């Protein structure tokens, strides 16, 4: 009798033989697409053409395209497995993917034929595209970076898998009611989501809570046993990631939490049906919702559980895949590179140690050597409120064994490494300890990530320098060479080719079709910067994009704007350090100028905001209210007319960014120097021909280097000047009292002019700038900002000069392709080779 395993193998061999040479019948012409779409309409959706809604057509089209993508996905995974290739595993708690359909069509090379097929079927392509809701499983820049990286990894044919959480609700939907932000749940799965593939065969079970007991291991040594744990099931959902113009299709694996069967059964056996259901509810809460805080941590238990859950599931999956193809652990570091996107997945460090030491019974030193060869850590911020710390008692409750392991990592780190470098220096030990003393003690996750990683990188040159100078100064001395810079980038596919098709065609005409994968080719535009005919075409495309955005503004805000005005754009999360209120002060100054000098010509502007505030961040919400109230007053004031309009587009997200970015003239990048680690919105806007007004912060510094000083409006204090002013005792009242215009507008802002009947409604914003100490130096930078805005107006009056500057911005953005960034990660950190997949 054959064993069941042998029988299974034989059956699968027979099946393989019988299907050899089978033609999967997926054509890439419009006719085949048409057939596929109609087939899916009928056999996947049970719909007749007659009754089909736009949603049905959208789903059927996505399924038809997915068939073609999955064919390449199968080939890619077969190739990666057959070659037993080294892979990078990108661990991120957030992926801000946006819509997938249009990008997938473009990347898979079926955009034109799908359009044609739909036209032949009498369907409106744009309506169908607009059926898709954003996949918004992230807050802002960090999550969008992860999405751009996945795009570049697949395009450059690097073997890579992304891991994250399959949140049932992504980032909240934002609405304004009387100018106030109101949050609604983002039910992105409601309409169905055609791109994800459920993988129940790869579900995993992970333990949590419980306590640690001591036993003897097989070698007779004392060893700890993590017992009485609860278990959670992780159910994988895969999103294919299509390489642009390549045959590689990688995937993003997102874990949904489910109650474990064992758990349910126990409760049933105790006779507690409702108990079982309640326990189920707890387990399934884990992947319920994305935390909506960008750059701040509140230390909530559920957040820690989320982090551990997705990391444990992912490591389990990585190890299963490794063990399928390899014997022993010797090759693990040569097959696996794990990148930690911020410290959110840093629990991977003690989890991998636990697996190796407790489950695999490996010596600590060997296990630690593996860890240190596998992990890389990317830091995204220096803001103290954003540095993750978990209280020791909470850690003890949720992950008691992991806490012990962290203590042991720390003991060895302090006693061996710190002691060797700074003998007898106890202050160094307490400064560098992974455990912060206090009540309660805290686990410093950034230090844990640094100690365990072979590479620690910042996300722009300035940011990396500041990391080495401040937060990680001693670590840089202890681990020379481990700190490195990887300036962020953006995918030129989504943020130029797809969102700005007219400009893309013009670029292709001048520099060739291959610019989306060779963005440095854009320098070929520079020689047309003074060419009047080219300037005209470039600016006509900008104007057409502005007309389209104006229509969106009309729909979303009910405000009519003039497409010939300067479109002045600030789109990013709402945060004090990003200083949306600095732009608000400038708006007030313009308004005042219009009222005081009604006959003086002024450059007409439309100021466009897009920003979500974290639901618990009161001042950010007050800034939104202030912008909305002041904007409304200005927009309704007949003395102003087209000279100034202020609109706040609700529910800023990736798909809205894709409409705003191609239509922007001016890009506001006005953070306090030293606070914005990189920024990527700055890159998207400049790539599409917007000029930057900005501080010397984050990647603005490198954008300035690329486009040249004369093609960017830089203003304000440098990092050193901010530091100097801070240490000499900054008093915002001085700036307020010395600048009559500034005093007038700050007081005006908080008067009841803009909130009739609610005289103190905007007082919190004023208070933050004065009694609140103005922690982000808004008033100190105000005069320089006003001066820079004056230069912007002057330049805009000379349309040829403006066109030249805009063209040179696009021309010099090649560096900021995320392809360049990913090549650098692959070369310097992951030691990863690309592995092209044949057709």
Ligand X SMILES: *Cc1c(COP(=O)(O)O)cnc(C)c1O
User: What residues are annotated to the active site?
Assistant: 380, 572-573, 578, 680, 684
Residue among 159 and 679 whose Cβ is closer to ligand X: 679
Among 680, 700, 809, 821, binds ligand X (CB under 6 A): 680
Among 100, 467, 657, 670, binds ligand X (CB under 6 A): 657
The residue nearest ligand X at its CB is: 681
Q: Which stretch binds ligand X (CB under 6 A): 49-57, 203-211, 261-269, 651-659?
A: 651-659
Q: Which stretch binds ligand X (CB under 6 A): 59-67, 140-148, 326-334, 772-780?
A: 140-148
Residue among 238 and 658 whose Cβ is closer to ligand X: 658
Q: Per-residue x/- marks for ligand X, 517-556, CB under 6 A? A: ----------------------------------------
Least distance between ligand X and beta carbon 240 (Å): 21
Phi, psi values for residue 626, rounded to 5°: -60, -45
Phi, psi values for residue 492, rounded to 5°: -70, -10
CA distances from 657 to 244, 479, 574, 611 (A): 21, 40, 15, 11
Phi, psi values for residue 89, rounded to 5°: -110, 115
Least distance between ligand X and beta carbon 662 (Å): 13
Q: Render the burial of 569-605: b for 16+ CB within 10 Å, e for the rest.
A: bbbbbbbbbbbbbbbbbbbbbbbeebeeeeeeeebbb
By CB under 6 A, residue 458 contacts ligand X: no
By CB under 6 A, residue 295 contacts ligand X: no
By CB under 6 A, residue 144 contacts ligand X: yes
Say how many C-beta atoms besides its own lie within 10 A of residue 678's C-beta. Answer: 29
Q: Which two tokens stand for residue 221?
A: 């040594």
Q: Which two tokens stand for residue 640?
A: 């102003």
Strand 605-610 versus strand 483-485 pairing type: unpaired
Q: Which stretch binds ligand X (CB under 6 A): 136-144, 274-282, 313-321, 597-605?
A: 136-144
End-to-end alpha-carbon separation of the chain, Å? Answer: 41
C-alpha 724, offset from chain centre: 33
Q: Which stretch binds ligand X (CB under 6 A): 4-12, 30-38, 174-182, 679-687?
A: 679-687
Least distance between ligand X and beta carbon 651 (Å): 10
By CB under 6 A, residue 381 contacts ligand X: no
Least distance between ligand X and beta carbon 570 (Å): 8
- Where are any strands of DSSP class E within 384-429? 389-391
Say how many C-beta atoms besides its own lie within 10 A of residue 180's C-beta. Answer: 14
329 beta partners = none
Torsion of CA 253, 257, 258, 259, to 10 degrees: 140
Residue among 141 and 345 whose Cβ is closer to ligand X: 141
By CB under 6 A, residue 376 contacts ligand X: no
Residue among 80 and 684 whose Cβ is closer to ligand X: 684
Three-class DSSP category at 175: strand
Residue among 68 and 494 whose Cβ is closer to ligand X: 494
Peptide bond into 440 cis (omega under 30): yes
Site for ligand X in 560-619 (CB under 6 A): 572-573
Q: What gap in Å lies between CA 776 and CA 143, rounded to an integer?
A: 25
336, 87 contact by CB (below 8 A): yes
Residue among 256 and 819 whose Cβ is closer to ligand X: 819
| Residue position matching structure tokens 């009309």 | 554
Residue among 111 and 495 whose Cβ is closer to ligand X: 495
237, 145 contact by CB (below 8 A): no
Residues 6 or more apart whose Cβ sits within 8 Å of residue 457: 376, 377, 378, 379, 464, 483, 484, 485, 486, 825, 829
Among 170, 679, 689, 716, binds ligand X (CB under 6 A): 679
Query: What DSSP string runs through 245-270?
Result: TSS-EEEEEEEEEEE-HHHHHHHHHT
CB hemisphere CA count around 352 (13 angstroms):
31
Residue among 96 and 640 whose Cβ is closer to ligand X: 96
Q: Which stretch binds ligand X (CB under 6 A): 72-80, 259-267, 306-314, 680-688?
A: 680-688
By CB under 6 A, residue 140 contacts ligand X: yes
Least distance between ligand X and beta carbon 251 (Å): 22
Least distance between ligand X and beta carbon 608 (Å): 13
Strand 455-458 versus strand 566-571 pairing type: unpaired
Q: Which stretch binds ligand X (CB under 6 A): 277-285, 521-529, 678-686, 726-734?
A: 678-686
The helix (run of H) or strand (run of E) holding residue 443 is strand 442-444
By CB under 6 A, residue 380 contacts ligand X: no
Q: Per-residue x/- marks for ligand X, 71-100, CB under 6 A? A: -------------------------x----
Q: What gap in Å lies between CA 186 and CA 174, rounded to an integer?
A: 9
Say how many C-beta atoms besides its own lie within 10 A of residue 828's C-beta. Answer: 14
Least distance between ligand X and beta carbon 677 (Å): 9
By CB under 6 A, residue 379 contacts ligand X: no
Strand 197-198 versus strand 230-242 pairing type: antiparallel
Least distance between ligand X and beta carbon 698 (Å): 8
Among 161, 241, 414, 654, binds ligand X (CB under 6 A): 654
C-alpha 431, offset from chain centre: 31
Site for ligand X in 723-752 (CB under 6 A): none
Residue among 498 and 506 whose Cβ is closer to ligand X: 498
Site for ligand X in 95-114 (CB under 6 A): 96
Least distance between ligand X and beta carbon 58 (Å): 22
DSSP state of 1: -
**Binding residue count for ligand X, defined by CB under 6 A:** 13
Three-class DSSP category at 381: coil
Least distance between ligand X and beta carbon 238 (Å): 23
Q: What gap in Å lies between CA 687 and CA 448, rounded to an integer?
A: 37
Q: What gap in Å lies between CA 244 and CA 108, rounded to an integer?
A: 6
Q: Which stretch binds ligand X (CB under 6 A): 152-160, 411-419, 516-524, 676-684?
A: 676-684
Least distance between ligand X and beta carbon 680 (Å): 4
DSSP state of 124: -
Residue among 492 and 681 whose Cβ is closer to ligand X: 681
- Where are any strands of DSSP class E within 102-153? 135-137
The helix (run of H) or strand (run of E) holding residue 680 is none
Residue among 572 and 605 whose Cβ is closer to ligand X: 572
Among 33, 63, 79, 141, binds ligand X (CB under 6 A): 141
Among 681, 689, 694, 716, binds ligand X (CB under 6 A): 681
- Where are any strands of DSSP class E within 186-308? 197-198, 204-208, 211-216, 222-227, 230-242, 249-259
Q: Which stretch binds ligand X (CB under 6 A): 137-145, 161-169, 531-539, 686-694?
A: 137-145
Contacts 24+ apart (CB under 8 A), 748-757: 748/588, 748/592, 749/584, 749/585, 749/588, 749/626, 749/630, 753/633, 754/626, 754/629, 754/630, 754/632, 754/633, 755/629
Least distance between ligand X and beta carbon 418 (Å): 36
By CB under 6 A, residue 818 contacts ligand X: no
Q: Which stretch binds ligand X (CB under 6 A): 138-146, 267-275, 379-387, 533-541?
A: 138-146
Least distance between ligand X and beta carbon 223 (Å): 47
By CB under 6 A, residue 653 contacts ligand X: yes
- The residues of the shown chain that bind ligand X, judged by CB under 6 A, are 96, 140-141, 144, 572-573, 653-654, 657, 679-681, 684
């Amino acid at each position: 009798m054959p064993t069941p395993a042998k029988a299974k193998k034989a059956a699968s061999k027979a099946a393989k033989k019988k299907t050899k040479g089978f033609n999967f019948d997926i054509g890439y012409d419009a006719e085949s697409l048409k057939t596929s779409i109609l087939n899916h309409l009928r056999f996947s959706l049970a719909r007749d053409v007659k009754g089909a809604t736009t949603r049905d057509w959208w789903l059927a089209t996505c399924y038809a395209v997915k068939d073609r993508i999955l064919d390449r996905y199968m080939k890619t995974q077969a190739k990666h497995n057959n070659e037993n290739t080294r892979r990078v595993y990108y661990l991120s708690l957030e992926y801000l993917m946006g819509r997938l359909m249009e990008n997938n069509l473009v990347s898979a090379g079926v955009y034109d034929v799908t359009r044609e097929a739909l036209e032949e079927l009498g369907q409106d392509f744009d309506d169908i595209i607009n059926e898709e809701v954003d996949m918004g499983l992230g807050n802002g820049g960090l999550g969008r970076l992860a999405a751009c990286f996945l795009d570049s990894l697949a395009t450059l044919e690097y073997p890579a898998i992304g891991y994250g959480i399959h949140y049932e609700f992504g980032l909240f939907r934002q609405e304004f009611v009387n100018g106030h932000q109101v949050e609604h749940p983002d039910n992105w799965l409601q309409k169905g989501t055609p791109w994800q593939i459920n993988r129940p065969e790869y579900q995993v079970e992970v333990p949590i809570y419980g306590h640690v007991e001591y036993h003897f291991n097989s070698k007779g040594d004392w060893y700890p046993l993590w017992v009485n744990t609860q278990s959670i099931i992780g159910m994988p959902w895969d999103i294919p990631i299509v390489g642009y113009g390549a045959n590689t299709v990688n995937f993003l694996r997102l874990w949904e939490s489910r109650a474990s069967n064992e758990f349910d059964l126990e409760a049933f056996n105790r006779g507690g049906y409702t108990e079982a259901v309640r326990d189920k509810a707890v387990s399934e809460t884990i992947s319920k919702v994305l935390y909506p805080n960008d750059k701040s941590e509140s230390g909530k238990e559920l957040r820690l559980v989320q982090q551990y859950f997705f990391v444990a599931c992912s490591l389990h999956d990585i190890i299963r895949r490794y063990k399928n193809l390899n014997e022993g652990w010797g090759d693990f570091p040569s097959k696996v590179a794990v990148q930690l996107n911020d410290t959110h997945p840093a629990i991977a460090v003690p989890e991998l140690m636990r697996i190796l030491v407790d489950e695999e019974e490996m010596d600590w030193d060997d296990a630690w050597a593996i860890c240190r060869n596998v992990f890389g850590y990317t830091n995204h911020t220096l803001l103290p409120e954003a540095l993750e710390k978990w209280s020791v008692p909470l850690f003890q409750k949720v992950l008691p064994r992991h806490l012990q392991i962290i203590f042991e990592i720390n003991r060895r780190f302090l006693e061996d490494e710190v002691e060797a470098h700074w003998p007898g220096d106890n202050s160094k030990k307490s400064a560098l300890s992974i455990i912060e003393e206090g009540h309660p003690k805290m686990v410093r996750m950034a230090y844990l990530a640094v100690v365990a990683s072979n590479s620690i990188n910042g996300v722009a040159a300035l940011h990396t320098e500041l990391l080495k100078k401040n937060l990680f100064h001693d670590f840089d001395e202890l681990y020379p060479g481990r700190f490195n810079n990887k300036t962020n980038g953006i995918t030129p596919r989504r943020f130029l080719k797809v969102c700005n098709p007219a400009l893309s065609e013009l670029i292709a005409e001048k520099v060739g079709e291959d610019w989306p994968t060779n963005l440095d080719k854009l320098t070929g535009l520079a020689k047309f910067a003074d060419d009047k005919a080219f300037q005209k075409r470039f600016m006509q495309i900008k104007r057409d994009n502005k007309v389209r955005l104006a229509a969106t503004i009309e729909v979303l805000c009910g405000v009519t704007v003039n497409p010939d005005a300067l479109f002045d754009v600030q789109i990013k999360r709402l945060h004090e350090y990003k200083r949306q209120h600095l732009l608000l002060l400038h708006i007030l100054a313009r308004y005042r100028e219009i009222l005081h000098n009604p006959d003086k010509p002024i450059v007409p502007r439309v100021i466009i905001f897009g920003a979500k505030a974290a639901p618990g961040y009161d001042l950010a919400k007050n800034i939104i209210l202030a912008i909305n109230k002041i904007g409304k007053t200005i927009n309704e004031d007949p003395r102003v007319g087209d000279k100034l309009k202020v609109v706040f587009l609700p529910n800023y997200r990736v798909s809205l960014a894709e409409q705003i970015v191609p239509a922007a003239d001016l890009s506001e990048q006005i953070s306090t120097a030293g606070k914005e680690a990189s920024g990527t919105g700055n890159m998207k806007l400049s790539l599409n021909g917007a000029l930057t007004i900005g501080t010397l912060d984050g990647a603005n510094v490198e954008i300035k280097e690329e486009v040249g000083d004369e093609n960017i409006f830089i203003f304000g204090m440098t990092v050193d000047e901010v530091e100097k002013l801070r240490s000499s005792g900054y008093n915002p009242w001085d700036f307020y009292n010395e600048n009559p215009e500034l005093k007038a507008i700050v007081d005006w802002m908080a008067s009841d002019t803009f909130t009739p009947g609610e005289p103190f409604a905007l007082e919190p914003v004023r208070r933050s700038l004065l009694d609140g100490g103005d922690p982000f130096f808004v008033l100190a930078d105000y005069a320089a900002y006003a001066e820079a805005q004056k230069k912007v107006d002057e330049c805009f009056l000379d349309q040829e000069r403006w066109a030249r500057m805009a063209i040179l911005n696009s021309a010099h953005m090649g560096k900021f392709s995320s392809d360049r960034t990913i090549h650098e990660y692959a070369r310097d950190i992951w030691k990863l080779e690309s592995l092209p997949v044949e057709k």
